[in-house]
Amino acid sequence: MLDYLAFAPYGWFIWPSFAVFALLVGGVTVQTLVAARRTKRQLARLDQKTP
């Protein structure tokens, strides 16, 4: 299996490509969800304080 996943001689190009895709697309996903959660909490706190 490891031999297959090495994708020789192109493994050095294939795996970094998937990693970059995961990093960029995963990164914007995580950033979006974290910001949404933070903003939701902030709004809930403000709503509570506002009479």
Binding residues vs another protein (CB under 8 A):
5, 7-11, 13-14, 16-18, 20-21, 24-25, 27-29, 31-33, 35-36, 39-40, 42-43, 46-47, 50
Total number of residues shown for the chain: 51
Q: Which is nearer to another protein, 2 or 13 (CB)?
A: 13
Q: Residue 2 Cβ, how far from another protein at the closest point, in Å? A: 13
Cβ 38 to another protein shortest distance, Å: 9
Alpha helices in 7-50 (DSSP H): 11-49
Cβ–Cβ under 8 Å, residues 7 and 14: yes
d(CA 46, CA 36): 15
